[in-house]
Amino acid sequence: MLSERQQQIIETSIGLIDQKGIQGFTIKNLSKAIGISEPAIYRHFESKFEILATILDAFKIQMLQFKEKFIGENESALKKIENIYNAHFFYFTNKPAIISVIFAEEIFHNDKVLYQKINEILQENENLISQIIEKGQQTGEIKTEIDKNQITIMLMGSLRLIVKKWKMSSFAFNLTQEGAKLIKAIDSLIRS
């Protein structure tokens, strides 16, 4: 469990990455943004790496909670997919700055540990969607003539694209409303 100051450091770090990119995310800039000294930050986190790892770990925990909530439900596969999309749209609408961290894998490419963490998040999401698709195909709810892996890529890619488009448009549209249209379109494509 993070202390109040650690949580503040994490939230401010996400904001800095969102505003200035990974290059602007320095301990010096972080200390200025929070209004505390650099050594004070080091009392809470050993390094910038540890801050980034904590951000990714927190997001991974959030994704695992999504999995627990939506896989266990007694709902149809298509309803589970809709619930997952809506949960992501709600999360990103309330924490839009996190998009700059989670959907920017290239910023972690030079660090194997951080890159592995982001890859684990991706794999968790892929496995979750794939399991839902497979069950939906077994029950006859989802088309079987389309490979479950291809449907998974379509689902994950469309979620990522609409979220990135929303972010790059400076939030010019309602993500939840546009997401609902996307969910409806996907439903019509994959439903048996």
The structure tokens listed for 107 are: 């910023």
Is the domain of 126 the same as that of 169?
yes
pLDDT 10s per residue in the chain (192 long)?
A: 788 989 899 999 988 888 888 788 889 999 999 999 999 999 999 988 899 889 888 888 887 787 777 666 688 999 999 988 888 898 899 888 888 888 877 777 777 888 888 888 888 889 889 999 999 999 999 999 999 999 999 999 999 999 999 999 999 999 999 999 999 999 999 998
Is the domain of 71 the same as that of 20?
no
Residue 51 domain-assigned?
Answer: no
Is the domain of 3 the same as that of 77?
no
Residue 73 domain-assigned?
Answer: yes
Residue owning tokens 């379109």: 185
- Write down the pLDDT at residue 60: 84
CATH number at residue 25: 1.10.10.60
Sign of CA dihedral 60, 84, 124, 21: negative
Range of the domain at 10: 1-45
Q: What are the CA-CA distances from residue 125 to residues 3, 23, 61, 113 (Å)? A: 28, 28, 12, 19
- Write down the pLDDT at residue 73: 67
Is the domain of 27 the same as that of 69?
no
Taking the model in full, what pTM does it have?
0.82
Q: What are the CA-CA distances from residue 31 to residues 36, 55, 67, 154, 174 (Å)? A: 5, 17, 35, 41, 34
Is the domain of 86 the same as that of 135?
yes
Residue 54 domain-assigned?
Answer: no
CATH number at residue 131: 1.10.357.10
Is the domain of 138 the same as that of 101?
yes
- Write down the pLDDT at residue 122: 86
Is the domain of 36 the same as that of 92?
no
Q: How many domains does the chain have?
A: 2
- Write down the pLDDT at residue 188: 92
- Write down the pLDDT at residue 111: 78
Is the domain of 88 the same as that of 147?
yes
Is the domain of 37 the same as that of 90?
no
Residue 102 domain-assigned?
Answer: yes
Burial pattern 22-45, b for ≥16 Cβ within 10 A else e, equals beebebebbbebbebeeeebeebb
